[in-house]
Structure 1
Amino acid sequence: MKITKSEFGKTKDGKVAYLYEITNSKNAKLTVTNYGAIMVNIIVPDKDGNFADVLLGYDKLEDYFENPSAHGAVVGRNANRIEKAQFVLNGEVIKMEVNDNDNNLHSGSNSYFYRLYDEVAVNEAEGFVTFRLLSPDGDQNLPGNLTFDVTYKFTEDNEVVINYKAVSDKDTIINPTNHSYFNLNGHNSGCALDHIIWVDADKFTVADEHAIPHGEERDVTGTVFDFRTPKSAREGNKSTDMQIASASGYDRNFVLNNPTLDKPIARIEGDKSGRVMEIFTTLPGLQFYAGNFIGLNEVSKDGYIYKGNDGLAFESQYAPNAVNLPQFPQPFYKAGEEYNSTTIYKFSAK
């Protein structure tokens, strides 16, 4: 393995951000930055051995300062939505920023992907880098001084391994995810709705018109959410089902049958390239977002202009609004209790 570190630019307050390019013996590459612990590039071969970047994003650091679509981003302290931007912890009502209708989305406007992380480790032999963020008590109006570590590892098998570890000195919530968008035909190849998708989930999390779950987990049988038999998202993404139409396409959490690192819980195949991405995770949910609102005329990599559905996001997580739904697996962690999760995106071609 080879790791090349280079300057990416300067943050708004003049600090230097770095790129870390991890290259394996097959010349496949993962590039990450300590700004927001963001994934910047994933370059892997197709069925004919042609390399392309399959990750949507930007060329310049400055473009990540806004990043309205959260390209490549590590979202924290809590990913996804919280109803009315509040929840109860130890009898106290915790109120967060209202930034999505009347709710909180991705912990508010000061999410972790706008922070500069410290470099903790660079291990060229094993192909990994570790970034650390110190999130103070009261940050995002959440309790506890939190030490948050993100480790990216790239393997000889073209696996992107993401490990999150975190510990707080007060009881708190911890529910990070990675918000990358993938297009297995190449980041600038247009609509990704014809990718073939398989997800090992018998149920999905029902949500209201503002994408807030209220506790129902619905059987996917007979619905457009049944990806147990591989299919594309194209037809389902224009369904009149309220669970689709209210979000202008797919944007729901799947309740995974048996999340594990021993076998994939999802598989996506590029319809033109033959590239395959398998997903493994230790977390209970996977949000499938079909990138319905990507773009907004923002300049993207290589001068390309992304449009809606040009990339697909698969975000491992605790379910949206889980903090207010005790019947769901919970992202609450006690003071001193370590949060530790791993998600793997494995690339191949057929």
Structure 2
Amino acid sequence: MIHRSTFGTSARRDRIERIELSLSNGFSASVLSWGATLQSISAPDARGHFDSVVLGYTSLDDYRCAHGRLGATMGRYANRIANGRFEIDGVAYQVECNEGKHAIHGGPEGFDRRPWQVARIVDEPNGPQVRFELRSPAGDQGFPGAMVMAVTYALVPPGDVVITYEACTDAPTVFNTTNHAYFNLAGEGSGSVLDHEVTLFADRFLPVDDELIPLGEMRDVTGTVFDFREPKPLGRDIRSDDAQVRLGRGFDHCYVLSSSERSTTPRLAARVLEPTSGRTLEVLTTEPGLQLHSGNVLNGRYGGASGRAYRQSDGFCLEAQHFPNAPNVSHFPSTVLRPETVYRSMTVYRFGVDDTPRV
């Protein structure tokens, strides 16, 4: 089932839509044409009680003014580019910087801060879906090439949110995208996520410098606080004296799922369990990296859908993407997109329950 409504009006008088997708079992998700944003996901706990499990706002003004990029689609380049500079085929480019001297998430007016066109809405037999499209002109935020990007949200029974990305360009450029949802499996606005038990199916992570730019190393997680290969509460080591944790003010690091290009089919990258509700989340993706972000930047300035302020570690991100600063690190998977290639990527958020009794 699909329900469309008006969410607000942009500063340029664009009508911003809210599209609610739902399945017959009650599982649902709401998305906005502002930033192609995932606003809410309603999923059951082990007792059958439904709550939204992603952080989101109820007004367009909050999405425009807040800086957490809650649930939005990132572009042209998710995560960081050092000094906002890179080269393609020997030609140097400078893009707009918005994190000190560095660029992050596409610049000050990235894809998360724009109205997208609702290109298609279909209620397929196996679940509803909506496709958003955005045109980005050559020189947008300093990036070369005119680009068209599309993101499709689809619900698949019993509890999958499938996000498919496509992009093409008329000149060589760099491109990296992800969804920036903050999850709280106990329910949006319920408080800290530090008790969530996290498993990451990755043997290496990317250590960073004091400005959160990757050093270029793919470091083994063995013997470090970054080892989540077995289930571990997110908060167990978040206050450790580890130098990398201090730099990130918690976890804000990319895990290496593959040192090569994206895969053709989604593979399991992470699993999370919230022990009280029994809700689980699995992340499957075709991308080579997964950014773990422990909600370090949430500062309590804005109230969410529950009417409660979002404070540090009230949500966590698992952002499937290519590596930060890949345009400047030759041994990272390439993020160069050329006119003869269509970018395609898929990430699946799979919700379920674990009703195993707990002592």
Task: Judge same fold: TM > 0.5, yes or no.
Answer: yes
Corresponding residue number in structure 2 for 1:20? 19
Deviation at 1:296, TM superposition (A): 3.8
Deviations 1:40-86 (A, max 9, x none): 11000000000000010101122111230110110101000111111
- Kindly provide the amino acid, as one letter, of the partner of residue 174 in structure 1: F
* Alpha-carbon spacing, 1:67–1:336, altered in 2? closer, same or farther (3 Å): farther
List 4+ stretches of structure 1 deviating above 2 A: 257-263
Match of residue 238 from structure 1? 239
Q: TM-score, normalised by structure 1?
A: 0.97
Aligned partners of 2:55, 2:73: CA distance in 1, in Å? 14
Which residue of the partner structure matches residue 299 of structure 2?
Answer: 295
**1:188 aligned partner, one-letter code:** G
SS of alignment partner, residue 178 of structure 1: coil
Shift of 1:262: 5.4
Asked whether the equivalents of residues 198 and 268 of structure 1 are also in contact (C-alpha less than 8 Å), the reply is: yes
The structural deviation recorded for 1:320 is: 0.6
Match of 1:134 in 2: 135
**2:37 alignment counterpart:** 38
**What residue in structure 1 maps to residue 108 of structure 2?**
109
CA distance in 1, matches of 2:258, 2:308: 38
The Cα of 1:295 is off from its aligned counterpart by: 2.8
- TM-score if structure 2 supplies the norm length? 0.95
Partner residue of 2:78?
79
2:333 pairs with 1:329: yes
| Aligned pairs for 1:123-272 within 5 A | 123-125=122-124, 126-257=127-258, 261=265, 263-272=267-276
- Secondary structure at the counterpart of residue 181 of structure 1: coil
Shift of 1:255: 0.2
After TM superposition, give the deviation of residue 214 of structure 1 in Å. 2.4
- My pick for the range that moved more, 313-322 or 291-300, is 291-300
How many Å separate the matches in 2 of 1:233 and 1:123? 38
After superposition, give the CA deviation of every residue in 1:290-337 in whole Å (9 maximum; x if it has no partner).
001213421221211111000000001111111100101011011231
Q: CA deviation at 1:257?
A: 5.0
Q: Does structure 1 conserve the Cα–Cα contact (< 8 Å) formed by 2:95 and 2:143?
A: yes
Aligned-partner Cα distance in 2 for 1:223–1:260 = 31
Distance in 2 (CA, whole Å) between partners of 1:67 and 1:338 is 32
Q: Which residue of 2 aligns with 1:319?
A: 323
- Counterpart amino acid of residue 307 in structure 1: R
User: Which residue pairs with 1:8 in the alignment?
Assistant: 7
Deviations 1:252-273 (A, max 9, x none): 0000159674542110111221
The one-letter amino acid of 1:213's match is: P
Deviations 1:5-59 (A, max 9, x none): 1111111111211111001010111100111100011000000000000010101
- Name the residue aligned to 2:357: none
Deviations 1:189-240 (A, max 9, x none): 1000110000110000111011101210100000011111110121221121
**Conservation of the 8 A alpha-carbon contact between 1:47 and 1:349:** yes
Contact 2:167 2:344 in 1 (8 A): yes
- Over aligned residues, Cα RMSD in angstroms? 1.3
Is contact 1:202-1:257 (8 Å) kept?
no
| Residues in 2 aligned to 1:260 and 1:289: alpha-carbon distance in whole angstroms | 25
Task: Determine the C-alpha separation between the residues in 1 that align with 2:184 and 2:265.
Answer: 23
> Shift of residue 101 of structure 1?
2.5
2:310 is aligned to 306
Unpaired segments of 5 or more residues in structure 1? none
CA contact (8 A) 1:268 1:278 kept: yes
* In the alignment, structure 1 residue 60 sits paired with structure 2 residue 59: yes
State whether residues 29 and 41 of structure 2, in contact with CA within 8 Å, keep that contact through their aligned partners in structure 1. yes
Give the corresponding residue for 1:96: 95
Aligned length: 349
Cα deviation digits, residues 89-122 of structure 1 (max 9, x gap): 1211111122213211111110101111111110
Structure 2: 5+ residue stretches without partners: 355-359
What is the distance in 1 between the residues matched to 2:100 and 2:302? 23
